[in-house]
Chain A
Amino acid sequence: MATQTNKPSFSIIEWSAFLIIFAVISMVAQAANFYAPMGISTAKTAHLGDMLIGYAILYVFTVLGLVLTKKVGLGWPAVLWVSVVLIVVSLPWMPTHDFVIKYTTAVALLPMATPVLAYAGFAIARNELKLFKSAGWKIVIVACLSFVGSYVMSAAIAQAVLKLTGQI
């Protein structure tokens, strides 16, 4: 059964080390975003001190999530554990809420996605490109239909339920 998950095999030290490199790249990206001379900027600040504190808080709780992935496991992937940790500390009912929110607002969301997608562009392997070319236009159409279908159907259901429950 696919639900039989294997033990997480990553190294916390290795991941934590890379996360520092990643955070530095993101911070530089955020500063570039803030001053974006040609387009619209989405970051609220490029203040180095504020960004450092914000990233440090995210970093500490992320590493805590990685430790829980290793020690507690439950077959959850790291993204799930990290999410749970950060959701809990930023809940409105938690004493940590004000502190976490106050300092992490300095971290802009989208500039963090930029390096991720740059890595993704580099990571696509030769045989993946080959498969993409040989998959044929039928598979491309079916895949895109699956994307559209999933998105539109979900949006339609959400729209209907939000309307019926009087929330929009």
Chain B
Amino acid sequence: MKESVWVAKAREYKLHLAVLVISVIAELLGLQKFKVGPAVLLLIPFVYAFLIALFLNPSMTENYFKGFGKIIGTFEQKAATPCITIGIILFIAKLAVLVGANMDKIIKGGLAMVLQEFGNLGSILITLPIAVLVLRMGRESIGASFSVCREPSLALASEKWGLQSPEGIGAMGTYIVGTVIGALFFSFMGSIFASLNIFHPYALGMASGVGSASMMTAAAATVKELVSPEQADLVMAYAAASNLITTATGMYMSIYLGIPLTEWMYAKFGRK
């Protein structure tokens, strides 16, 4: 039994070696800061790692570098999917240590933490009217805007509407956009807001917990690097705690508040 697991892993050696090489290159490049007007743009190694891997993805290289498919082909592409789910768990473990160690401070900020969860609903108030009134979208807008749509929301949408329905297509759309550019988008958003000084770093930390570990990390890590070391740990701890709450409660929030609110707003703004 134990042998077969290692044999299976050994067959994926090209994938793991490629990830190792890419990670080392990304880390050697290190963190980079650029001043863009009033904002500081922060490039974090995991952003380079994602981009390098994306450009070496077999579905991309078949267009410009066919030979590379021999190293990273569809077998490696398929094998990479569970690695995200499992690898992120060790990362989450380290984050959970930050949460546990700072629990006294997190409890102090508990009220803000709980109430800001409703901010995830607030997005509907901005997104749905623009989708319907400006972009003239139909019922896809409901699926696309009821949440940031990570896996649990996609499962919910598929159960409620089916992925072939207009709402399901909208939900799938937000899910795909998040998968492809979510981490990049959140890291840019994080560095812009952290350097503009509109919100306190702690507020930005809490806000980063949108229910996806990679989006949360991207958003919070940029904030973390732009504040003092004493604040940095607490920013990450707030972000991780908030993300955990969203992971645990986000589905219920969508079922009982998010989807009804979106449907109600669509009925108000939508074309009859």
C-alpha gap A157/B121 in the complex (Å): 12
C-alpha gap A124/B184 in the complex (Å): 15
The answer to whether B32 touches A39 (Cβ under 8 A) is yes
Residue in B29, B46, B55 whose Cβ sees the most chain A Cβ within 10 Å:
B46
Give chain B nearest CB distance to A98 CB in angstroms: 10
Known: A110-B221, A144-B177. A122 touches B57 (CB 8 A): yes
Residues from 98 to 157 in A contacting B, C-beta threshold 8 Å: 100-101, 104, 107, 109-126, 128-129, 131-132, 135-136, 138-157
Residue in B56, B90, B210 whose Cβ sees the most chain A Cβ within 10 Å:
B90
The answer to whether A142 touches B19 (Cβ under 8 A) is no
A53 proximal to B (CB < 8 A): no
Per-residue A-contact encoding for B184-202, CB less than 8 Å = 1, 0 else: 0110010001000001101
The answer to whether B203 touches A110 (Cβ under 8 A) is no
The answer to whether B46 touches A114 (Cβ under 8 A) is yes
The answer to whether A157 touches B137 (Cβ under 8 A) is no
Residue in contact with B100 in the complex, picked from A15, A91, A110, CB distance below 8 Å:
A91
Residue in contact with B148 in the complex, picked from A18, A79, A146, A159, CB distance below 8 Å:
A146
B20 proximal to A (CB < 8 A): yes
C-alpha gap A114/B45 in the complex (Å): 6
The answer to whether B179 touches A128 (Cβ under 8 A) is yes
Give chain B nearest CB distance to A54 CB in angstroms: 9
A87 proximal to B (CB < 8 A): yes
The answer to whether A141 touches B93 (Cβ under 8 A) is no
Report the nearest B residue to A96, measured CB to CB. Answer: B100
Within 8 Å CB of B189, what residues of A? 147-148, 151
Per-residue A-contact encoding for B21-46, CB less than 8 Å = 1, 0 else: 01110111111110000000000111
The answer to whether A79 touches B88 (Cβ under 8 A) is yes
The answer to whether B176 touches A135 (Cβ under 8 A) is yes
Within 8 Å CB of B152, what residues of A? 2
Residue in contact with A151 in the complex, picked from B59, B76, B219, CB distance below 8 Å:
B219
Within 8 Å CB of B81, what residues of A? 119, 123
B257 proximal to A (CB < 8 A): no
Give chain B nearest CB distance to A60 CB in angstroms: 10
C-alpha gap A62/B140 in the complex (Å): 39
Residue in contact with B115 in the complex, picked from A19, A33, A125, A161, CB distance below 8 Å:
A161
The answer to whether B109 touches A58 (Cβ under 8 A) is no
C-alpha gap A10/B61 in the complex (Å): 31
The answer to whether A143 touches B221 (Cβ under 8 A) is no
The answer to whether B5 touches A14 (Cβ under 8 A) is yes
Within 8 Å CB of A123, what residues of B? 77, 80-81, 83-84
B165 proximal to A (CB < 8 A): no
Give chain B nearest CB distance to A77 CB in angstroms: 7
B227 proximal to A (CB < 8 A): no
C-alpha gap A4/B81 in the complex (Å): 24
C-alpha gap A120/B189 in the complex (Å): 20
Report the nearest A residue to B45, measured CB to CB. Answer: A114
The answer to whether B127 touches A149 (Cβ under 8 A) is yes
A72 proximal to B (CB < 8 A): no
The answer to whether B80 touches A119 (Cβ under 8 A) is yes
C-alpha gap A42/B47 in the complex (Å): 15
Report the nearest A residue to B153, measured CB to CB. Answer: A2
C-alpha gap A39/B34 in the complex (Å): 12
Other than the given A58-B94, A152-B207, A168-B202, 6 more pairs (CB < 8 A) read A25-B16, A58-B97, A117-B183, A147-B189, A152-B193, A154-B119
Q: Which residues of B contact A (CB under 8 A)?
A: 1-2, 5-6, 8-9, 15-16, 18-20, 22-24, 26-33, 44-47, 49-57, 59-60, 72, 76-77, 80-84, 86-101, 103-104, 108-109, 111-113, 115-127, 130-131, 135, 137, 140-141, 144-145, 147-149, 152, 155-156, 159-160, 170, 172-174, 176-180, 182-183, 185-186, 189, 193, 199-200, 202-204, 206-210, 213-215, 217, 219, 221, 225, 236, 240, 242, 244, 247-248, 251-252, 255
